[in-house]
Structure 1
Amino acid sequence: MDAIELLTQQHREVEELFEKFEKAGEGKEELLRELFVRIADNLAAHAIIEEKLFYPNVYVGPTADQLQEAVEEHLSVKRVIADLLDMEPSDAQFKAKVKVLKDLVEHHVEEEEKELFKSVKKLLTKEELSVMGEQLEVMFSELIQTEPRMQVPREIDEAAPLT
């Protein structure tokens, strides 16, 4: 699977988790906590593989401005996740914050898929995208087993560097 296919697939997986969260209903605090943990872990691991591998490898020419914006959007997402890590699903603002998180993620995904990924397809060969996809997949698989959400509070001071 190439890098763009992998990242797009991960976007769809997180969208499905947000849908399940919204459908969970009242009095389901344990399910809401479990879904939030899965969302947060997936988003944290996804952000790490983008910031450590994908973005630095495509930080040239026309993508530079898009990537500067992307890491700022990641920072906003991380700040909301950090807030949610300190909350319980029974807290009055928990669901509202998850909705804000969803909105931030949807905006970011839309920009990546409509703009950044198109630019990247012009920059890299199919072979390069395939090799990078394998690297991203391995790194994600390793990260997802380590509760990556727990790293997020240490990453909310400034956007990730691109070089």
Structure 2
Amino acid sequence: MDALDLLKEQHDEVNTLFKKFEKLEEGSTAELRELFVMIADRLSAHATIEEQFFYPSIKTDKTEDLIREAVEEHLGVKRIIADLLEMEPSDEQFAAKMKVLMENVEHHVEEEEDEMFKLVRKVLDKDQRFALGVQMKAEFDELMKGEPRNEVPMQTDEAAPV
């Protein structure tokens, strides 16, 4: 799989989970917690494969500043996740922190897909992106092993259990 397609797929997956979280905001604490943990696990694994494989593979003079900024954005997201892991969804600050997390991730994804991906297509050819994607997918899958609910719940109109 092309590395850019993999990252886009993961971005979309987390976005779907964020939307599900927003719909469940009035749901039970256990459901909200479980969904948050799914989001946190995916974001953590995603950041890991970007930092270990993707960013080093695309580093050039043209991408260096974008990569530096992306790593700082990852750090900010990790700090928010760490705070959220220490809280219960019933905490009055939990929803506010989740909103900030969503906004930070959305901003990061926009910059990555709108700016960085265009430069990557100039830096890596299709075969290089495919080989990188295979490597990144294997590491992501390994990181997600043993995590509860390795699949994103299907979107439905009904309130399905998480």
1:6-155 map, 5 Å: 6-145=6-145
Runs of 4+ in 1 over 3 A off after TM superposition: none
Unaligned runs of 5+ in 1: 148-163
Tell me, in whole angstroms, the C-alpha distance in 1 between the residues paired with 2:8 and 2:140. 14
RMSD: 0.9
SS at match of 2:138: helix
Cα distance, 1:30–1:107 mapped onto 2, change above 3 Å: same
TM-score, length-normalised on structure 2? 0.89
**Which amino acid in structure 2 is aligned with residue 8 of structure 1?**
K
Q: Percent identity among equivalent residues?
A: 59
**Which amino acid in structure 1 is aligned with residue 72 of structure 2?**
E
Unaligned runs of 5+ in 2: 148-162
Cα distance, 1:25–1:84 mapped onto 2, change above 3 Å: closer
Tell me, in whole angstroms, the C-alpha distance in 1 between the residues paired with 2:123 and 2:140. 23
How many residue pairs get aligned? The number is 147
SS at match of 2:99: helix
Deviations 1:56-101 (A, max 9, x none): 1111120001000000000000000000010001111111111100
Tell me, in whole angstroms, the C-alpha distance in 2 between the residues paired with 1:22 and 1:35. 10
TM-score, length-normalised on structure 1? 0.88
